[in-house]
Chain A
Amino acid sequence: MSHPTKILTVDDSASMRALLLHALQAQGFEVVQAEDGIEALEWLAANDADIVITDINMPRLDGFGLIERLRSIARHRDRPILVLTTESSDEKKARARQAGATGWIVKPFDPEKLATAVRRVAH
């Protein structure tokens, strides 16, 4: 029996974390949550997630920094990382792509579209 896809969501907003938790669990995914890039790195140092979904604007370490740090670690080099953000500028999107993001999703997110994207990038 295959294990459910485990997703680490990274967002400093408690409200957004609650929406993501509800939406992703309802789709059968296992969900772990971190409040910013530093907390995500600390958790990933000792644990594994199949996919990371991260916000951009966060204190301490933002989404760009988190992606760059993960891509410099061998075991996270190919980890699917989806950016979920209110940012709509092409410049920010290009920066996420350059940092090594796997995909870009614009808030407010649609639970069905998000789940489809997760299934597409899950290894």
Chain B
Amino acid sequence: MNHVTSDASARQRVTVMQGQVKVSAHPDMLLTTVLGSCVAACLFDPEAGVGGMNHFLLSEPVSGRGTTADEHYGVYLMELLINEMLSQGAFKRRMKAHLYGGANLHAGMQRIGTVNGAFAREFLAREGIPLTHSDLGGTHARRVDFLPEIGRARSRHVHDARAIELTPVNRPVRATGDVELF
């Protein structure tokens, strides 16, 4: 489901919900999201003029399992973003990244925001994608606006907790790892 509105400058605003990936090369497109402990990665290829955003939440690692299903989910959402950018003309070696979110909103709860931010940083380092700007951690929710065609982002603190509730935290309903033998 797309949440699309137009602002005063006739720019098309598309909200990127948890579990979603949006990519555009359109100069009038603005991708926006609200983040609590979730993280949004904004990738941009300056030469192709293509950018995109994802929005993910990894839960706590399952102890004693080594890698976790959640790491699979994070890698999956990063790969979806990268692949969609490739399909619109971007090259991975030219991509640059911003990271936003990863706040720990409630004292005394598990530091899930920190886990999300650390995963995203490690992913970019492993893939060799430079992190050119980040606004991670802290205790406040953020609203992030991203212009994908020029790769410019703005991150603001949100003090109205109700804004967070607009962002569903359900995983997309889909089977994982389905196997079909031909």
Contact = CB atoms under 8 A, between A and B. Distances in A.
B126 interface: yes
Contacts of A26: 66
A102 B177 contact: no
Size category of the binding interface on chain B: 20 to 34
A78 B145 CA distance: 51
Q: At the interface, is chain B mostly helix, strand, loop or mixed?
A: helix
B80 interface: yes
A77 interface: no
A14 B127 CA distance: 6
Contacts of A120: 181
Interface in A17-55: 18-19, 22-23, 26
Contacts of A19: 67, 71-72, 75
B75 A108 contact: yes
B179 A113 contact: yes
For chain A, give the interface size range: 20 to 34
Given A16-B75, A57-B86, A104 B177 contact: no
Interface string A61-78: 000000000000000000
A108 B73 contact: yes
